[in-house]
Amino acid sequence: MTQQNPSSTPIRVGIVGYGNLGRGVEAAIGKNPDMAVAGIYTRRDPARLQPLGANVPVHAMEALPAHREQLDVLVLCGGSKDDLPEQSPRLAALFSLVDSFDTHARIPEHFEAVDAAARAAGTTALISAGWDPGMFSLQRLMGEALLPDGATYTFWGKGLSQGHSDAIRRVPGVAGGVQYTIPVDEAVERVRSGSRPQLSTREKHRRECYVVLEPGADAEAVRRAITGMPHYFDQYDTTVHFIGAEELAREHAAMPHGGFVIRSGATSKGVGQVVEYRLQLDSNPEFTASVLVAYARAVHRLNRAGQHGCKTVFDVPPGLLSPRSAAELRADLL
């Protein structure tokens, strides 16, 4: 049903960073005929990087400032810890862009830094796109706005958590491993029923770990080190499975994720209303990338309309995410 943007040649996108997320952005742009990958920018040796598309130009990161006339919008695919706090403000002084900054507690300061750069330069920069922050944030906002007398519940999973998998791999005696976050079915059902329960951390999610031991490691000591790890695991019911390296590579290489945002509220005495949003993602980075690409389209349009500065998903009229015209959207989707 997607149609070519009637107004122009394809939107020229620069992909900044080319890990799982950058590859996902390249794949997502391939699904959107009104957009094109104009270049991939990397800190690695460009000659050794293999894009999905045969004719996609790869450049060193340093080439970016000279490419201002060749790019309509950047999609930043670096990490929230070290890359984006530096890259997003610096590049917003040169380009319109989208990032997936996901350190929730530091969003206000990231917003201020990017906003100052973008306003001064007349660019448009949208931060914290993806699914959480991103689609889940929108649902939390809409739930609260539509049902002010209510409670919002966010559940994550079943999904592979990168941070918790990294924590497992730092435990002495562990050769490799992954961690899945899993919502507790009973908690989801209680929320869905409209009962607005108070749920503890342990009641909402459980954790499952698949671990490959180093030769001679003490399995029970590793299990105790994982399940007792403060903050990461000690507040959860955690199960540790010991498996072989082949099984880890074969069964646990994908990056599924997802979850639920549920708003449970009342519109009058005894009248309950439940709104549920659910994602089931075979690939977390590919879905995040798809969200970034749709918001890159919107950012380009906002910029052309003279709306400069830093934006979030809360600021974007949903129609701007679609390649179709407003009249088509009203006729076909409203």
Which whole-number Å values give the CA distances from 179 to 158, 162, 210, 243, 276, in the listed order? Answer: 10, 8, 6, 13, 26
Scan residues 75-134 and list those touching a second copy (CB under 8 A).
Answer: 104, 107-108, 111, 128, 133
229 is an interface residue for a second copy by CB under 8 A: no
- CB neighbours of 299 closer than 8 A, spacing ≥ 6? 73, 96, 97, 98, 124, 125, 126, 311
Q: Which stretch binds a second copy (CB under 8 A): 25-33, 53-61, 180-188, 218-226?
A: 25-33
Interacting stretch for a second copy, rule CB under 8 A, among 168-176, 205-213, 238-246, 282-290? 282-290
Residues near a second copy (CB under 8 A), total: 68
- The answer to whether 305 contacts a second copy (rule: CB under 8 A) is no
Binding region for a second copy (CB under 8 A) out of 39-47, 87-95, 239-247, 308-316: 308-316
- Choose one: 8-16, 37-45, 62-70, 146-154; the region binding a second copy (CB under 8 A): 146-154
> Is 124 annotated as ligand-binding?
no
Contact region with a second copy (CB under 8 A), list: 156-164, 201-209, 224-232, 287-295: 287-295
Q: Nearest to residue 40, comparing CAs of 22, 20, 27?
A: 22
- Give the whole-angstrom CA distance, residue 299 versus residue 74: 10
28 binds a second copy (CB under 8 A): yes
**Binding residue for a second copy (CB under 8 A) from 14, 22, 24, 176?**
24
Q: What are phi and psi of 105, to 5 degrees?
A: -65, -20
From candidates 291, 296, 300, 301, binder to a second copy by CB under 8 A = 291
Contact of 85 with 110, CB cutoff 8 Å: yes
Which one of residues 135, 211, 225, 240 is an interface residue with a second copy (CB under 8 A)? 135
What character string, x for contact with a second copy (CB under 8 A) and - otherwise, covers 193-222? -x----------------------------
Q: Which pair of tokens denotes residue 181? A: 């976050």
Residue 153 binds a second copy (CB under 8 A): no
Burial class (CB in 10 A: 0-12, 13-18, 19+), 241: exposed
Q: Are 33 and 301 in contact (CB under 8 A)?
A: no
Rounded to whole angstroms, the Cα distance separating 270 from 321 reads 38
Decide if residue 317 touches a second copy (CB under 8 A).
yes
CB contact at 8 A, 98 and 129? yes
Given the structure tokens 């931060």, which residue do they identify? 127
Question: Per rule CB under 8 A, is residue 146 in the interface with a second copy?
Answer: yes
Residue 226 CB-density burial (10 A; 0-12 exposed, 13-18 middle, 19+ buried) = buried
Residue 117 CB neighbours (<10 A): 20
Query: For 139-161, what is the HEC assignment?
Result: HHHHHHHHCCCEEEEEEECCEEC
Q: Which of 93, 141, 182, 248 binds a second copy (CB under 8 A)?
A: 141
| Contact with a second copy (CB under 8 A) among 120, 241, 282, 304 | 282
Q: Which is nearer to a second copy, 123 or 264 (CB)?
A: 264
SS3 315: helix
Which positions lie near a second copy, rule CB under 8 A? 1-2, 24, 27-28, 31-32, 104, 107-108, 111, 128, 133, 135, 137-138, 140-142, 144-149, 192, 194, 267-268, 270-283, 286-287, 289-291, 294, 297, 312-319, 321-323, 326-327, 329-331, 333-334
Annotated binding site: 18-21, 42-44, 77-80, 100-102, 129-133, 156, 181, 207, 257, 284
